[in-house]
Amino acid sequence: MNNRIKITFWLLFAMFALLIIHIGYFTFFEADEVINNPYNLRLSASEGSVKRGNIEDINGVVLAESIQEDNGFVRSYNYPRMYCHVIGYTGVGKTGVEAAYNARLLDLHNETLQKFLYILTNKVFKQGKFSLADMGIYQSNVYAADIFDFEPPLSDDDVLSGGGVDADVTTESLTETDIYENSEIDNEIKDIYNNPENMQGADLDSIANDGYESENNFFAPLKDGYVLTGNTVVLCIDNRIQQKAFELLGERKGSVIVSEVDTGKIKAMVSYPNYNPETIAENWEYLTNDNENTPLLNRAAQGLYPPGSVFKIGMAQLIIDTGNRDMTYNCQGVNKFGNKTLRCYNETVHGSEGLTDAFKNSCNGYFAKAGIELTNDRLITEALNLGYNKDYDFPLEHSVSVFNLTEESDNSELADTSIGQGKTMTTPLHINMITSSVANGGTMYVPQIAEGIKSPSGRMIRKFKPEEMGVVMSKETAAIIKGLMREVVTSGTAQGANSDIIAIAGKTGTAENGTDNDHIWFTGFAPYDEPKYAVTVMLEYGGRSSKTVNIAKDLLEYIAGLE
Amino acid sequence: MTELLIFISKYVFIILMFIFCLQSKYLVSKGRNTNKRADEGAYAVRLQRMTIVLFHVLAYATLNFNSEIPVEDYMVTAAGGLVLVVFAPVLIGLVYNRINGLAINCMYFLMDISLVILQRLDPALALRQMVFFFMGTAVILIIYPILRYFKKFYELKYFYLIVGFALLLVTIIFGTNVRGATNWIRIGQFSFQPAEIVKILFVFYFASVFCRNTDFRDRVIQMALGFAFVALLVLQRDLGSALIFFMTFIIILFVSTGSLFFTFSGIGLAGLGAVMAYFMFSHIRVRISAWIDPWSDISNKGYQISQSLFAIGSGGIWGSGLGKGYASTIPIVETDFIFSAICEEFGVLFAIFMIFVYMTLFYCGVRSALNTRSRFKAILASGLTGLLCFQTFIIIGGVTKLIPLTGVTLPFVSYGGTSVVICTVIVGLLLWIYVPKTEDSHIKHGPDDVREPVRRKKRVRENINIPDEAPLRRRVRRHDDE
């Protein structure tokens, strides 16, 4: 019986071991993500005491920072409108990176040390007295004053400037006070004290005034009481590219995305109309009720549009994969499929053509025929494989592209869907992801917005890894489509993007939307030989697709010039 | 200064907890937690008690300086808790013939943690909880003479059975509904949970049945009765207790009969019942879906578990410091979710050490089961220890999302009179059963010993030269011959 008792309790104790492992695993690996939840009230509570961390671009340009004011911290954005959809806002709720990395921005690196310094400088020693300037000049007095909790009488200057918080004012005013006259400081120190620039203390003082900028001085942040500072979130975005994209898009409704093809890192993401996150609280009513312009919407990741001809990238893949590369079609400009009439752009007659010509001329008839002949179940599989109707782990607010073909759909719907019309709706970000997977040989990556986390002192403490969504096409197919997309630029619909500086490949798109002005697309990558960047430009009601082609060309040329 | 005290104290708490665990490790490995004589073991036990006192003093000092926490009843609880921790073990030592100092220390340490965290959550509850602790201590002091001089516990099986069933039936008919479960009975001002009392009767019943030889027919009948208990608890919607009762039954069945057929068929039937219950009762489906994905419905179904995980995650390894957490956001924090509050304020490391304290306590219970010569007592000790063990596991596992949440109390720590008194009584029973290894091992197994023979020859040779052998032998014989 004893053995059975032992067996039983070894099993029960193994359950407790499991419990301990589970709690440990949760604390080390899951807690960070779990606590970053709007329902966790602790985060908003710590917002009052912790200085929210900075947000920087990949080169260290500060995009957002918190500034301490009398009644707490105020969030300040250095490029408010340029980044409003990426970084988002904080205050009236949170969006964008501010929401997705809320816990990281409030997380304290070296929490024990930071809290210890904070308590020591703010709670134990009273604020303003435990200052480096004081320590440098008359050390013993500072300690004495602290120990006996002694407040030096305030001079007029002090009262006017609101107490001895500012180190410069303290130094000035204390000259006139009685304490130091009466205390037994020798003349030498008195001299130095009256001419602070003569001695070391003055240097210390100025260093201390620099505050966070002077990283060499460990005690600098202690001057006016240590401030608990959250971690910095480093974005993948390159500020220069973002700036250029912002300028190129100008005041046209639409969005521009630049990403790295073999990691999925977002290098730029701009959307217009935009808003100013600094004044969002004042303009809240207006911004939320502007249904025509919807400035709060990040069109790049949340906007759902018919993809139009850019969907033909996926169709080309389907045609190649099913071995129908040699298919030909005789385009009449206006083509009839049953009771459905499809017009090519400007009703151009393309004549008899193969895949290459059809792709570069963006012939609707060819792809509609291909779509009908390949039947809908293959189309559905293809779309799902490319990431339609499937959510992905992108930390910012985003929509999921919709593909709505069913087994019962008729030929006219099939034809519509094959040329990117019908009920298919796509986000520009998703088109960008598809372009990247063509460019990198078939792997689709989850778009990545944050490069890593930096401690307040500027050391990278965590790097995020690119995350694969899976292989969406074979290397061979990707290489063929790459060639097709290059043809589009050299001799097809996107000849405007034929640049001397950088070899661009891409695909244009015009998507009917029920108005006279079509939505226009361009998605492409460059350089053609060794693709690095994928660019997707989308303009709402833009008219002619050459506008998007020009933006993409200028942007890619600018990027080429950076390197 | 308060901030600094809180800041430093949270590390000191962990250090004290660590020291307590080291002392437990020492007492376990030396086997010195054995008797009352003023030997090295007794000294180590007293030293370990000092750790509890230090914890108590530091915790109450920290609470005193924290102006955000109400101070009503502060002195009463602080002083009363100190008296409890210092004098209750001494009293138990005086009354009980043999004590396991380690088990008592673990129990009172857990009680003290409970007082501290309740003082921080709600001082009024801490005061009441302290009264319950005193009541529990009083009860185990009072029952000892009965345990000692009434030797026929194994013959009262029909008494246990009838009273147990009656209490559960009365609960179903007259019970009050608290948070979805009909498991409270209210008599005037006084209310209690009968299921807690039935726990002890349940273990006594099956121990008295299985201490005799059972044939196939007996076992089938007993299994049916065991499932009847569980079914009554499921009817009360007290799923946590039902699970505990079932596991206790399986442990008793396996330990006493060793029949793998019955053990696994029992587990199989229970699994079948669980699947049926899943499809029959919506509240079980809600629990399961909240366990699988609490995040999709945080504001409603997943509220409790997600708030608990927020607390544990935000506290981190070192905790937020006593009084610095946001315990008010955790639902039912005084009872079911008290572990989450401890995790948040004392830190996950402290909480893991606390699990070690529980494991030490259960180890002492297992020691009682292994050392005793009486088969009845061995089964009883296994059942009672298994019961506490499983109860601790399912509530800690529940609040940390290892298993679906079922609302039971964390032994000794959760607020609640019935639970505290019953858990204390269980430890009292384990102390009563406890026989130090050195006393028992040199006694030959007589023909009246109902227990299966245990190989102890080697140890007999080792310990044969114990100095005061004769009186010990007498004492053991007197109490362990059934």
Least confident of A166-175, A193-202, A349-358, B184-193: A166-175
Can you tell me the distance from the alpha carbon of A443 to that of A435, in angstroms, rounded to the nearest whole number? 10
A14 contacts: CB under 8 Å, gap ≥ 6: none
For residue B375, the cross-strand partners are none
B446 contacts: CB under 8 Å, gap ≥ 6: none
Q: What is the mean pLDDT of residues B264-283?
A: 87
Side chain identity at B302, as an amino acid letter? G
Name the closest residue on chain B to residue A107, using Cα atoms.
B314
Please tell me the distance in Å from A147's CA to the nearest CA on chain B.
13
Q: For residue B428, what pLDDT band results from cuts at 50, 70 and 90?
A: very high
Q: How far apart are the first and last CA of chain B?
A: 61
Q: Does position B230 have pLDDT exceeding 70, yes or no?
A: yes
At B45, list the tokens. 């036990």
- Which residues of A431-532 form beta strands (DSSP E)? 443-446, 450-454, 460-463, 467-471, 505-511, 519-526
B370 touches chain A (CB under 8 A): yes
Q: What is the mean pLDDT of residues A354-366?
A: 86
What is the model's pLDDT at position A510?
A: 87
Please tell me the distance in Å from A257's CA to the nearest CA on chain B.
30
B151, B219, B243, B177: which is closest to B448 by C-alpha? B151
What is the model's pLDDT at position B40?
A: 54
Please tell me the distance in Å from B363's CA to the nearest CA on chain A.
8
A383 contacts: CB under 8 Å, gap ≥ 6: A314, A389, A403, A405, A424
- 3-class DSSP assignment, residue B126: helix
What is the model's pLDDT at position B322?
A: 86
Q: Does position B330 have pLDDT exceeding 50, yes or no?
A: yes
Q: What is the pLDDT of residues B136-147, one digit of tens each?
A: 999 999 998 888
What is the model's pLDDT at position B67?
A: 65
Q: Does position B109 have pLDDT exceeding 90, yes or no?
A: yes
B226 contacts: CB under 8 Å, gap ≥ 6: B206, B245, B246, B249, B253, B266
Q: Does position B421 have pLDDT exceeding 60, yes or no?
A: yes
Q: Does position B301 have pLDDT exceeding 70, yes or no?
A: yes
Q: For residue A190, what pLDDT band results from cuts at 50, 70 and 90?
A: low
Contact (CB, 8 A) for A173 and A207: no
Can you tell me the distance from the alpha carbon of A222 to that of A435, in angstroms, rounded to the nearest whole number? 50
Can you tell me the distance from the alpha carbon of B241 to that of B301, in angstroms, rounded to the nearest whole number? 21
Q: For residue A537, what pLDDT band results from cuts at 50, 70 and 90?
A: very high
Q: Tokens 């008296």 — which residue?
A: B83
Q: Does position B292 have pLDDT exceeding 80, yes or no?
A: yes
* Burial (0-12, 13-18, 19+ Cβ within 10 Å), A36: buried
| Residues of chain A with a CB closer than 8 angstroms to some CB in chain B | 1-2, 4-6, 8-9, 12-13, 15-16, 18-20, 22-24, 26-27, 30-32, 34-35, 37, 39-42, 45, 111-112, 115-116, 119-120, 123-124
B144, B133, B140, B91: which is closest to B111 by C-alpha? B133
At B201, list the tokens. 């009767």
Phi, psi torsion values for A90, nearest 5 degrees:
-135, 145
Segment holding A535, helix H or strand E: strand A533-539
- A355-360 long-range contacts, CB within 8 A, separation 24+: A355/A316, A355/A319, A355/A320, A355/A325, A355/A326, A355/A327, A355/A484, A356/A484, A356/A487, A358/A329, A358/A331, A359/A312, A359/A316, A359/A484, A359/A487, A359/A488, A359/A492, A359/A507, A360/A484, A360/A487, A360/A488, A360/A491, A360/A492, A360/A493
Contact (CB, 8 A) for A104 and A53: yes
What is the model's pLDDT at position B456?
A: 42
Per-domain residue ranges for chain B? Answer: 440-480
Pairwise pLDDT comparison (B242 vs A411), residue with the higher score: B242
Q: What is the mean pLDDT of residues B453-476?
A: 42
What is the model's pLDDT at position A353?
A: 86
What is the model's pLDDT at position A563?
A: 75
Q: For residue A331, what pLDDT band results from cuts at 50, 70 and 90?
A: confident
Q: Does position A295 have pLDDT exceeding 80, yes or no?
A: yes
Residues of A with Cβ-Cβ distance to B386 under 8 angstroms: 8-9, 12
Q: For residue B437, what pLDDT band results from cuts at 50, 70 and 90?
A: low
B43, B51, B66, B22: which is closest to B345 by C-alpha? B66
Q: Which B positions 309-328 lie with beta carbon below 8 A of chain A?
A: 309-310, 312-314, 316-318, 326
What is the model's pLDDT at position A400?
A: 92
Q: For residue B426, what pLDDT band results from cuts at 50, 70 and 90?
A: very high
Q: Does position B306 have pLDDT exceeding 70, yes or no?
A: yes
Least confident of A360-364, B181-185, B266-270, B454-458: B454-458
Q: What is the mean pLDDT of residues B156-168?
A: 89
Put simply, the answer to whether B370 touches A6 (Cβ < 8 Å) is yes
Q: What is the mean pLDDT of residues A505-515?
A: 86
Put simply, the answer to whether A37 touches B358 (Cβ < 8 Å) is no
Pairwise pLDDT comparison (B443 vs B224), residue with the higher score: B224
B453, B103, B97, B392: which is closest to A13 by C-alpha? B392
Q: For residue A458, what pLDDT band results from cuts at 50, 70 and 90?
A: confident
Output the CA torsion sign for B259, B260, B263, B269: negative
Q: What is the pLDDT of residues A372-402, one digit of tens each?
A: 888 777 888 887 888 888 888 888 889 999 8
Pairwise pLDDT comparison (B478 vs B83), residue with the higher score: B83
* Burial (0-12, 13-18, 19+ Cβ within 10 Å), A281: exposed
At A419, list the tokens. 């040329």
Q: What is the mean pLDDT of residues A292-298?
A: 86
Beta strands at A450-454 and A55-56: parallel, antiparallel or unpaired: unpaired
Q: What is the mean pLDDT of residues A323-342?
A: 81
Put simply, the answer to whether B400 touches A42 (Cβ < 8 Å) is no
Q: Does position A342 have pLDDT exceeding 90, yes or no?
A: no
Can you tell me the distance from the alpha carbon of B358 to that of B109, in angstroms, rounded to the nearest whole number? 10
Q: For residue A221, what pLDDT band results from cuts at 50, 70 and 90?
A: low
B336, B330, B289, B295: which is closest to B312 by C-alpha? B330
Segment holding A497, helix H or strand E: none
What is the model's pLDDT at position A132?
A: 43
- 3-class DSSP assignment, residue B36: coil
Q: What is the mean pLDDT of chain A?
A: 79
Q: Tokens 């065991």 — which residue?
A: B226
Q: Does position A293 have pLDDT exceeding 50, yes or no?
A: yes
Q: Does position A445 have pLDDT exceeding 90, yes or no?
A: yes
Can you tell me the distance from the alpha carbon of B428 to that of B430, in angstroms, rounded to the nearest whole number? 5
Put simply, the answer to whether A12 touches B389 (Cβ < 8 Å) is yes
Q: What is the pLDDT of residues A89-124, one digit of tens each?
A: 887 778 888 888 888 888 888 777 888 887 777 766
B430, B437, B347, B479: which is closest to B106 by C-alpha? B430
Q: For residue A219, what pLDDT band results from cuts at 50, 70 and 90?
A: low
Q: Does position B43 have pLDDT exceeding 50, yes or no?
A: yes
Q: Does position A461 have pLDDT exceeding 50, yes or no?
A: yes
B259 touches chain A (CB under 8 A): no
What is the model's pLDDT at position B475?
A: 44
Q: What is the pLDDT of residues A8-48, one digit of tens each?
A: 899 999 999 999 999 999 999 888 888 888 788 887 777 77
Residues of B with Cβ-Cβ distance to A115 under 8 angstroms: 7
Q: Does position B3 have pLDDT exceeding 50, yes or no?
A: yes
B352 touches chain A (CB under 8 A): yes
Can you tell me the distance from the alpha carbon of A317 to that of A301, in angstroms, rounded to the nearest whole number? 24
The single-letter DSSP state of residue B240 is H
Q: What is the pLDDT of residues A249-265, one digit of tens each?
A: 888 889 999 999 999 99
Q: For residue B213, what pLDDT band results from cuts at 50, 70 and 90?
A: confident
What is the model's pLDDT at position A220?
A: 55
Q: For residue B337, what pLDDT band results from cuts at 50, 70 and 90?
A: very high
Dihedral in degrees, nearest 10, Cα atoms A466, A472, A476, A477: -130
For residue A260, the cross-strand partners are A533
What is the model's pLDDT at position B142?
A: 92
Domains of chain A with CATH codes: 112-222 (no CATH), 239-562 (3.40.710.10)
Q: Does position B130 have pLDDT exceeding 90, yes or no?
A: yes
Residues of B with Cβ-Cβ distance to A27 under 8 angstroms: 312-313, 316-317, 348
Q: What is the mean pLDDT of chain B?
A: 82
Residues of B with Cβ-Cβ distance to A23 under 8 angstroms: 312, 343, 348, 351-352, 400
DSSP string, A192-245: HHHSGGGSHHHHHHHHHHHGGG-TT-TTGGGTT----BBPEEEES--HHHHHHH
Q: What is the mean pLDDT of residues A348-364?
A: 85
- 3-class DSSP assignment, residue A93: strand
How do the residues of chain B divide into helix, strand and coil, expressed in percent and rounded to 5? 75, 5, 25
Nearest Cβ partner for A116 among B7, B313, B452: B7
Q: How far apart are the first and last CA of chain A?
A: 77
At A393, list the tokens. 């782990």
